[in-house]
Amino acid sequence: MTEHESRSAAPTTGELALDDRASLQRVAGLSTELTDVTEVEYRQLRLERVVLVGVWTSGTAAQAQANMAELAALAETAGSQVLDAVIQRRSSPDAATYIGSGKAGELHDLVVATGADTVIADGELTPAQLTALEKIVKVKVIDRTALILDIFAQHATSREGKAQVSLAQMEYMLPRLRGWGESMSRQAGGRAGSNGGVGLRGPGETKIETDRRRIRERMAKLRREIRAMKTARTVKRLERHRSGVPTITVVGYTNAGKSSLVNAMTGSGVLVQNALFATLDPTTRRARLDDGREVVFTDTVGFVRHLPTQLVEAFRSTLEEVADADLLIHVVDGAEAFPLDQVAAVRTVLAEVLEESGDGAAAPPELLVVNKIDAMDGLARAELAAALPGAIFISARTGEGLDGLFNRVRDEVGRHDVEIFVDVPFDRGDVVSRIHADGEVRSTEHHATGTKMRIRVPAALAGELEEFTRTGG
Tell me the binding residues.
Answer: 252-259, 277-281, 299-302, 371-374, 395-397
Binding-site positions for Mg(2+): 259, 279
Using DSSP, state whether 202 is helix, strand or coil: coil
User: 170-208 burial by CB neighbour count: b if 16+ within 10 A, else e?
Assistant: bbbbeebeebeeebeeeeebeeeeeeeeeeeeeebebee
* Those residues with Cβ within 8 angstroms of residue 21's Cβ, 6 or more apart along the chain or in another chain: 155, 273
Q: Which residues are documented as binding site for GTP? A: 252-259, 277-281, 299-302, 371-374, 395-397
The burial of 255, by beta-carbon neighbours within 10 Å (0-12 exposed, 13-18 middle, 19 or more buried), is given as: buried
DSSP string, 167-200: HHHHHHHGGG----GGGG-B--SSSSSS-S-TTT
Q: Rounded to an integer, what distance in angstroms lies between the CA atom of residue 461 and that of residue 132?
A: 63
DSSP characters for 444-473? EEE-SSEEEEEEEE-HHHHHHTGGGEES--
Residues in the chain: 473
Contact indicator for 338, 359 with CB cutoff of 8 Å: no
Q: Where are the beta strands (DSSP E) in 262-354?
A: 283-288, 294-299, 327-333
Of the candidates 234, 223, 221, the residue with the CA atom closest to the CA atom of residue 318: 234
